[in-house]
Amino acid sequence: MYNRSTKQPSERIVAGSIVYLADRDMAVTHSIQLLLKTEKIVSHVFDTGESLLNQVLKAPPACIVMDAIMPDIDGASLLKRMQKHGLQTPVILLGGNSEIPAVVDAIKSGAWDYFEKPFLQHTLIDSVRRAIALQGHL
Amino acid sequence: MNKRITSDVPIVSIIDDDESVLDALVFLMASVGLQSKMFSSAKVFLAEYDPLERGCIVSDIRMPGMSGLELQQELTKRDCTLPLVFITGHGDIPMAVEAIKNGAVDFHTKPFRDQDLLDSINKAIEQNELLQQTTDQQNTIQRCLSTLTRREREILDCVVEGKSNKLIADQLNLSPRTVETHRGHMMEKMQVKTLAELFKLVQ
């Protein structure tokens, strides 16, 4: 019924999907939220890893974009705890000064994508769109 | 040195444009009893590799001509299932992310510990062996299936759906005795003795 192509899902389709955002730096979350809004993607911002995880367990979103190292929980632990609950929501991690082995581990343990800050806006949007499309939220 | 290498022994194909790295890695492989081959570029590897070969590939990322990531794409295109382990002197995060997302077993930045690389290689070889076993098994099943007559195949499908001989006989307009005979031949050709074995095979 819907166009299942993962390359360019139409805007209408993405509009209903929700993305959860969390970053230590509120300026980063707000700029990503604005960016997603221009793409008609609704997002909710969380200021701690725990509040994000709690909400994810209650109502899994289409995609999660989070700081690889939130003060209270890092990306790898979040992934592990989600997987323990059988959740496969795509998680995009944002890092600053990351070491390659840590990034490799994150992707191997199931992160959908990993971007080093500062990143190009369109690369993040492309990744979010592909994650949403894959999720079957189309 | 030049002894014939057969395809049932796992071989580590090492691709790097730096001869000293090749030498060091071949030595490392030999020290743990692994067979290896050296290639000075991705192009040379692609020209010479044998699709039936087992093992894995250890490749540099940045090489003149074809890069390691381009090689990965080319191998995917060719349905080559040899697992890849990347090593690189100047890797960056996007490269590492792409390599792993596209299925590389690991991505090591130089200098790395020999043991870390060997761990990845062993994992890659194991992964390749598992896949090979599954493929071999599927091929055997396909071979068995292809020996069935049309009637036997029909009966196999019915049996798998859990139908009784009587029901199958009614459905195919045969006598239960005939169904039994076909069923016996089918089980024999599929090389199974019990229904449980048959289910496991064709599930």
pLDDT digits (tens, 9 = 90+) for A94-137: 998 888 999 999 999 999 999 998 889 999 999 999 998 886 64
- Which of B100, B105, B108 has the highest number of chain A CBs within 10 A, making it the mutation to test binding with A? B100
pTM: 0.75
User: Which whole number is the average pLDDT over B55-75?
Assistant: 95
Task: Measure CB to CB from residue A114 to each of B91, B93, B109 and give the nearest one.
Answer: B93
Q: Which own/partner pairs from A33-41 qualify as long-range (CB within 8 Å, at least 24 positions apart)?
A: A35/A121, A35/A124, A35/A125, A36/A125, A36/A128, A39/A11, A39/A14, A39/A125, A39/A128, A39/A129, A40/A11, A40/A14, A40/A15, A41/A14, A41/A15, A41/A17, A41/A128, A41/A132
- Which of B92, B93, B107, B113 has the highest number of chain A CBs within 10 A, making it the mutation to test binding with A? B93
What residue in A sits closest to B98 (Cα-Cα)?
Answer: A113
Query: Do A104 and B101 count as a contact with CB atoms less than 8 A apart?
Result: no
Q: What pLDDT, on the 0 to 100 scale, is given for residue B7? A: 58
Q: Which residues of A touch B92 (CB under 8 A)?
A: 100
Rounded-to-integer distance, Cα B8 and Cα B136, Å: 13
Rounded-to-integer distance, Cα A83 and Cα A60, Å: 12
Q: What is the mean pLDDT of chain A?
A: 84
Q: Would you place residue B70 in the very low, low, confident or very high pLDDT band (cuts 50, 70, 90)?
A: very high
Residues B48-62: tens digit of each pLDDT = 988 888 999 999 999
pLDDT at A7 over 70: no
Residues B134-148: tens digit of each pLDDT = 888 888 899 999 999
Q: Which residues of A touch B90 (CB under 8 A)?
A: none
ipTM above 0.90, yes or no: no
Is the four-CA dihedral A120, A121, A122, A125 of positive or negative sign?
positive
User: Which whole number is the average pLDDT over B16-36?
Assistant: 95
User: Which whole number is the average pLDDT over A14-26?
Assistant: 79
Best mean pLDDT range from A54-58, A116-120, B40-44: B40-44
The dihedral region occupied by A7, where left means phi > 0, alpha psi between -120 and 50, and beta the remainder, is alpha
Residues B121-137: tens digit of each pLDDT = 999 999 999 998 888 88
Question: Residue B107 belongs to what H/E stretch?
Answer: strand B106-109
Rounded-to-integer distance, Cα B103 and Cα A102, Å: 17
Q: Would you say B155 and B168 are in contact if contact means Cβ atoms under 8 Å apart?
A: yes
Query: Do A98 and B93 count as a contact with CB atoms less than 8 A apart?
Result: yes
Q: What pLDDT, on the 0 to 100 scale, is given for residue B23? A: 95
Q: What pLDDT, on the 0 to 100 scale, is given for residue A11? A: 41
pLDDT at B162 over 70: yes
Q: What are phi and psi of A127, to 5 degrees?
A: -65, -45
Mean pLDDT is lowest, of A3-12, A103-112, B136-145, B164-173, for A3-12
Q: How far apart are the CA of A54 and the nearest CA of chain B, in angstroms?
A: 27
Q: What pLDDT, on the 0 to 100 scale, is given for residue B155? A: 92
What residue in A sits closest to B99 (Cα-Cα)?
Answer: A104
